[in-house]
Amino acid sequence: MYIAGALHGYEIFVEGQFYRFITSMFMHSGAMHIVMNVLSLYMIGQVLEQLFKPLTYLAIYFITGIIGSLLFLYINDDGQAVGASGAIFGMFGALAGFAWVHRKTMHDEFMRFMRSFGIILLINFALGLAIPEIAMSAHIGGLISGIISGIIMAKNPNHLWAYLVGSSIFIFLSYNYIASLYATSFLLH
């Protein structure tokens, strides 16, 4: 998987293999990993496709996946990861952000949603603590950036360009910061 494009800090920050941010989202460590991600994406995707335009949906998916990967690489300086979980958590976060913006019109539906959402998060975090191979930092990065994305796009559904510009600037700054940490660490070794 390393050769095929798994997420790996040295290759991204020192060798400049930026494509790994994308390729790693389409790679999985086994049958159970891909089945769980496909089922999760299928369940959340059906809902989000009704709430967001197709380009917005894709933008949130890739942006939250990349942000989740950046947080993973920041915390795990020599780690390697594969999977779409950061982006999938981003989609769950986007749904939560959307629900938060529309909570007054949703009333009881919002409360039911938040209870279900909380249960899903607790189960996933418990699994993450129980299984050390799970990249919890990518999940957290995807979730937080997804909540922010969902809030932004629910309030301003026609401002995809502003979301893309703002997200790109954030990713660029985060990338440069983490790359400087890698360069310093590389020089010290």
Catalytic residues: 85, 139
Q: For residue 93, with 0-12 CB atoms within 10 Å meaning exposed, 13-18 middle and 19 or more buried, which class applies?
A: buried
- Helices 136-155 and 108-130 pack at an angle, to 10 degrees, of 160
Return the H-helix or E-strand segment holding 132.
none
For residue 175, the tally of other CB atoms under 10 A from its CB is: 17
86, 95 Cβ separation under 8 angstroms: no
